[in-house]
A = this chain, B = another copy of it.
Amino acid sequence: MAAAAVFSDKGYRASTIQDIGRELGTTSAALYYYFGSKQEILGELIVRPVRQLREMAAEVAQSPLSNREKLGEIVRRHIDMMLKQRELFTIFLRERVELEAQHAGRLAEMEEEYYRQIRSIIDDAARAGEMRDVNRQMLALGIIGMTNWVLRWHKPDGALGADEIASAYMDILGGGAFKEPPGTAGATPVPAEAARRRVKRAS
């Protein structure tokens, strides 16, 4: 992750292959040999977070969790991944504009696919009659937006972890988007700990 550290610290434009080589303890010539250009390095780096998110969402989708629990688990693991790889996700969120067309297209496709994975769980829930009549596109985009925004306000020494944040988010979102289970007042928070155990068992 030498390149991630350099791009995250100096910004893509101001970084040189030499900076990355220095961080890696290798020569620019060796890096050019493997990657061809700084743009190729960014192109490789920037899709990694989305690839991880997609793999994670696919795993959660196949778990035996309820639809609502699946959404909560995706939010929790998304936040957890971001907080553990701040540099990589910072590049993903900030340097996207620096991508040339080919890489930008690939990234957009992968992001679209992550959106569709979340959207698909929401659609399943709607078909099963579990949801209120909300705008499902906005719900999926809202979930992704409030989740990515955590990287902006969360302090590394902050008291709140991924579990607490995801649980609070899903308590708010879940209560608005899902119908209440009969006989309960207010929304049921997603039981994060229980959900995690079930995913673990299933995978």
List residues of chain A with CB under 8 Å of any chain B CB: 10-14, 94, 97-98, 132-135, 138-139, 141-150, 152-153, 165, 168-169, 171-177, 186-187
Contact = CB atoms under 8 A, between A and B. Distances in A.
Contacts of A144: 149
A61 to B, nearest CB: 21
A97 B174 CA distance: 33
Contact of A13 (B11, B97, B152, B169): B11
A146 B153 contact: no
Contacts of A138: 165, 168-169, 172
22 contacts: A11-B11, A11-B13, A94-B94, A132-B175, A132-B186, A134-B172, A135-B172, A138-B169, A139-B172, A141-B146, A141-B153, A142-B149, A142-B169, A144-B149, A145-B147, A146-B146, A146-B149, A148-B149, A171-B176, A172-B177, A173-B173, A175-B175
B11 A98 contact: yes
A139 B12 CA distance: 33
A150 B152 CA distance: 15
Contacts of A146: 141-143, 145-146, 149
